[in-house]
Chain A
């Protein structure tokens, strides 16, 4: 059985290509630069366009323009770049732009630690633009998941016509990893729903609030309007309260309605276990090692690894919490997922966290100690 020895960056590039990505724009930033370099090499030979923009704002701006002209677009950056993406993330939500945004997390606010690992952007990608709307985000813990979840990010970006984050991190993206081919699982990516050329087209018309409007590309035979300001169903500016309300509720409803299908959690539940470890991203690797160790030592512990982090997979987590008295959350920040788990676990459960913000990975021993 052939195995791959690849970095997460290579897996993300391959996942994007297999998802039909044909447009990429990015700006160099450690630790996301290998994705930019990979796409610049891979796309031209496949009829795609990849370009290094003058800054992060232009990177996401070009992707948005290309996406609305019909391309499958992706960009990749790290926390400082996501900060600059913020306003355009809002645009992508408002104008209903399908777009995959890779955030290769690194440590600290501002420029922080360029080459140090962290998981500090969990709440940032969730709330990182004005107005407060739901976001979809997936978090891979190894190269195989980088491949699968990149494709899944494309699938949901296209289906929902919304920006979708791949919340990766320096360690998963830059470390070379051995991948068993049966774990390189593709995810089917269907294109966005297209407008019917036989009917009059209103670019933002939906029947039910949770529906996704049919798409007509800029430059295609059906003339369309893209509008980042509050707009009516025809794409014209509006201030009419009923239309404004309908638009804003729709932007939330379409994602909330899909939450159950987006939910992606790997549960390893042991019957009778009263302790649950919850983790995601690179820390989930240590959590898996810790669970193996603890079980070898006769401890009954369960494990929940989140692969979709937003919308928060509340149903799967609630199921994992049944019968549990103690929860340990492992993540490379000071408790961003723990905050969410505390709310779900309310009612007599003790929730604690294993957190590091020193640029080092959480060790399996630290998690095991927190459980013991």
Chain B
């Protein structure tokens, strides 16, 4: 068995190398820059002095993706372009780790969005871009970092596109440390060490030679590359080195807060939940559609009724419908209440339809014709004319004196009482369960005024 993974010797720091001699040499073409960069990474890791099990190397796809298997650290070899996302997950899970991402210029294209977001987040991973201006493994195609005019397998007449400046992109998007250099730079070890020591997102754009493709296709050389770096207009050396809060530790310290309460009762109902303590005379399943407008608190009114039903020993379901632009247009809540557990939750034709606003009337315009005898429609009196032919009985209500935020609940409470769904006590208890006291206060007021909805507002009398 060739592997030395998990053996004790590698946990003894400091190590002379983080490379696994039993797996060397590297598999790269003669003259390929990848080996230079990996050697420099090894020296920087040794200088960092962390044991192998506190370092994770995440590789992308391409020739660079072969790199992790030469190191004795933790390794993650993932999908093309996504290395930064795995590295982010690893770092967020274990903020104490040193996490290194090795990607090529290809990975900068397909995973560019992830690079930008990692820089914005300032998640503490170090990205080394093995930047040889083309895809090596797949046969020398152009990448997002290929210089204009370069010949590649897919730009035989020269690249028409401008290259992305990946270092500048990381720099302007919030990275803590960004630098650009070449694989021949004697200072490369020191730059990688600085990147690894950075408390935040670090990116190094390292220009290098792909001797199999980019060099022969473009009569490219070390000298030509160094000249290109000088004349490209792209900054080299350290572009950015700044202090910003690192994401993983910030999130970890945010995790120290008190445990939040349960969103559902524990099994057996020991905690949370609703204890039924009122009676209902409901004998069969009834459905109710409340059709109003945004701003009328339709959904919370429906929840008050549904919860009151549960407080009364009934089963209830509630589903809401509203346009994606939530602050305008209709707001509809469909309720089912039943003494039995509820299966089908749909309400194609309700037993009770309550219409409080023209928006709601419009969206539910087809319901009245579908409603049968014995069903009822309660409609804001000024909208009565909008209810089409129906076998339901139609009753007006008068919500003029109530504010827009109170009308839906007041009417719904009045209807619930009249229809024998739940008692006023159950509704009051349901309102008491509101988490925000100011909201509860408003709702109590609406409940108090529920009986006024059956009387036309008195014509205003002139005081003489």
Q: Which residues of A contact B (CB under 8 A)?
A: 1-6, 10-11, 13-14, 23, 25, 38, 41-49, 51, 53-55, 57-58, 60-71, 73, 87-88, 91, 95, 114-115, 143, 147, 171, 174-182, 184-186, 195, 199-203, 216-229, 234-237, 282, 285-286, 288-289, 292, 360-361, 363-364
Q: Other than the known A23-B89, A65-B92, A225-B68, what 8 A-B pairs have Cβ atoms closer than 8 Å? A: A3-B275, A4-B272, A4-B273, A171-B319, A222-B5, A223-B5, A226-B78, A363-B348
Q: Is the CB of B92 within 8 A of A23?
A: yes
Chain A positions within 8 Å of B321 at CB level: 115
User: Which of B52-60, B179-187, B228-236, B368-376 forms part of the interface with chain A?
Assistant: B52-60
Q: Evaluate whether A51 and B319 lie within 8 angstroms (CB atoms) in the complex, with A38-B263, A226-B77 already known.
A: no
Chain A positions within 8 Å of B263 at CB level: 6, 10-11, 13-14, 38, 42
User: Residue B94 contacts which of A69, A180, A202, A216 (CB distance < 8 angstroms)?
Assistant: A69
User: Residue A224 contacts which of B74, B259, B265 (CB distance < 8 angstroms)?
Assistant: B74
Q: Is the CB of A178 within 8 A of B317?
A: yes
| Distance in angstroms between the alpha carbons of A178 and B2 in the assembled complex | 59
User: Residue B93 contacts which of A3, A69, A114, A288 (CB distance < 8 angstroms)?
Assistant: A69
| Distance in angstroms between the alpha carbons of A217 and B276 in the assembled complex | 47
Min C-beta distance of A113 to chain B, whole Å: 12
Min C-beta distance of B309 to chain A, whole Å: 8
Chain A positions within 8 Å of B58 at CB level: 65
Min C-beta distance of A99 to chain B, whole Å: 10
| B157 CB–A CB distance under 8 Å | no
Could you list some 5 contacts between A and B, CB below 8 A? A47-B256, A57-B85, A62-B86, A180-B341, A234-B3
| B444 CB–A CB distance under 8 Å | no
Q: Is the CB of A3 within 8 A of B89?
A: no
| Distance in angstroms between the alpha carbons of A223 and B252 in the assembled complex | 24
Interface residues of B in 58-88 (CB under 8 A from A): 58, 65-66, 68-69, 72-79, 82, 85-88
| Distance in angstroms between the alpha carbons of A360 and B349 in the assembled complex | 13
Q: Which residues of B contact A (CB under 8 A)?
A: 1-3, 5-7, 10-11, 52-54, 56, 58, 65-66, 68-69, 72-79, 82, 85-94, 96-97, 113-114, 116-117, 251-252, 254-260, 262-269, 272-276, 303, 306-307, 310, 314-321, 324, 341-346, 348
Q: Is the CB of A88 within 8 A of B79?
A: yes
Nearest to A6 among chain B residues (CB) is B264
Q: Is the CB of B1 within 8 A of A234?
A: yes
Q: What are the 6 A-B residue pairs with the smallest beta carbon separation, nearest first?
A: A65-B89, A61-B85, A181-B269, A201-B6, A2-B273, A65-B86
User: Residue A45 contacts which of B258, B318, B324 (CB distance < 8 angstroms)?
Assistant: B258
Q: Is the CB of B114 within 8 A of A221?
A: no
Nearest to B52 among chain A residues (CB) is A223
